[in-house]
Each structure stands twice: as C-alpha cells, then as structure tokens.
Structure 1
Amino acid sequence: MLAEEQPKLIGSVAKESSVPIKTIRYYEELGLLKSSGRTEGGFRLFNADILARLRFIKRAQSLGLTLSEIKEFLDVHDGGELPCKHIKTKLEDKVKAIDEQIQQLLILRQDLEGLLSGWEIKPENSYQTICPIIEF
C-alpha cells in the first residue's frame, strides 16, 4: 500500500485541509464524511479521498449551498452517480433567488433614497411623532 493510501488521522486531515477537527467531526455527524475506522487509541481514521471531499464541501458552501443540499449531492455521488445535474439545477435556483434579492434591494434602495430626499422636512407638531421621515 502506498503512503498516500494510508488512512489519515483526523488531526492530519485537519492540518492538510485547514478544516478544524471540530468541523470534521460535525460533518461526520451530519453524514457528509465517513471515517474508515479508529485507531486503538480511539482516533478517527479517514481514507485518502477525504481531502477531495472536504474541498468539495467548502467550495459548495462558498457557492451558497447548504450542508443539507451538499449532503444530497454526496449521497448521489456515494450511490455511484455524478451529482452534476442536481447541482446545476440547485445553482440555477440560487441564481434566480439572487436575482429576486437584487430586485428587492433595488426597491428598498429607491424607498430609502425617497425618504432621504425629504429629510429636511420638519413637522409642525413634532411632539406627536417620533420621526416623520420614516412614518407614514
């Protein structure tokens, strides 16, 4: 067996991947990772593919995918299929959601600019209102 095929201790996985041990344990608890066993001392062991799996998880998170969504993709992969079609659909959904958020933010910006444009207005009965600019 080649050295790189040797099971890796969780500490070495954490060091090589820059993912904290606590996070690796959490991912294992969620089913995103699977240890290949434990040492006599009880330390988790992982196969060499763990680093690629962690890179995938981190990249998917950076694209806005949730751990639950990532688990679905990994389950498809673990079942022997490529999850690319599923990922493409999910990313298309993310783009649509971002477009909707952008539209909502543009409307909010317009509302804020409208409020700010009338900022100098002072009510006659200022004791009856907290801030007339933002009240209707």
Structure 2
Amino acid sequence: MTEVRPMQIGELAERTGLSIRTLRHYDEIGLLRPSARTEGGFRLYTADDESRLLLIRRMKPLGYSLEQMGELLSVVDGLEVDPSDEALRARLADIRDEAHQRREDLRRKVAAADEFIAQLEAR
C-alpha cells in the first residue's frame, strides 16, 4: 500500500490550477483550512482537502459567492456528521436545484456567445 503524503501549498495549487494567493485567501476566510502545518508553519493539505478545493473550484463558473460556497461546505460537512439530518438534506436539495438553474443560465449565455462569434466570423 502506498503511503499518502500531505501536500504543501505549491503542490496543491499546481494540482488544482488555483494560485497560492487564492489558497491562502481561502485559508484566511475559513473556506479551506489546511489539515496540518509543518513545524516551520507551512500549510499541509490532504487528498480530502484537494477534493474540497475542487468542489469550491467547480462552483466558481456558476457564479457562487465565497459566502455561498461556505454555506454549501457547511451543509456537506454537517451531512458527513449526520447523514440523516433532514434540514441539511433539504438545504442540499435547494442548492442542487439552484445549481441546475445556474447551469442552464450559463448554457444560454454560452449559446448567445456562440451566436455572436458566428456572426463576427460571417462578416
């Protein structure tokens, strides 16, 4: 079995395509805290941290604010503690419905952009 070693911030940034500055900001606002720190104070991240960060990154194109991202993560964290929490399940369903709507809005915008580009190319 391969031992999974924690990643420092630069490796996590490289693996996720986000900047070190963004990761530091997420730590400062509590959106993504490192799982540990070295004796020298360097942030250390796990595969679970990377998964959480990828969830955050996937919300960005849909226009979610940092506050809304934090709310979703709180719901996800709460459901990990108590999967039967009906209030959290209902909130997750609301967030999922909203995500579908945002995706549809984004699809319409991309279609309009494609039409615009086609018009430009036709000239």
Q: Following TM superposition, where does structure 1 have runs of at least 4 consecutive aligned residues deviating by more than 6 angstroms?
A: none
State the TM-score, normalized to the length of structure 1.
0.60
Q: Deviations over 1:41-87 (max 9, x none)?
A: 21101121122212111111111111110100001111125663131
Structure with the largest fraction of helix: 2
Structure 2, gaps ≥5 residues long: 84-88, 110-123
Give the letter for the 1:88 counterpart.
Answer: R
Query: Could you say what secondary structure the match of 1:49 adopts?
Result: helix
Find the counterpart in structure 2 of residue 30 from structure 1.
Answer: 29
Is the 1:73–1:86 Cα contact (8 Å) retained in structure 2? no
1:15 aligns to 2:17 (yes or no): no
Give how far 1:32 is off.
1.2
2:63 aligns with 64
Structure having greater relative contact order (Cα 8 Å, sep ≥ 6): 2
Which consecutive unaligned segments of at least 5 residues does structure 1 have?
Answer: 103-136
The answer to whether the aligner puts 1:2 opposite 2:2 as a matched pair is yes
CA-to-aligned-CA distance 1:8-55 (integer Å, 9 cap, x gap): 111111111111111001111121112112112211011211222121
Q: Is the 8 A contact 2:34 2:43 kept in 1?
A: yes
Task: With the length of structure 2 as denominator, give the TM-score of the two structures.
Answer: 0.65
User: How many matched pairs?
Assistant: 97
Q: Structure 1 residues 13, 67: closer, same or farther in 2, change over 3 A? A: same
Any idea what SS the aligned residue of 2:47 has?
A: coil
- Sequence identity (%): 39
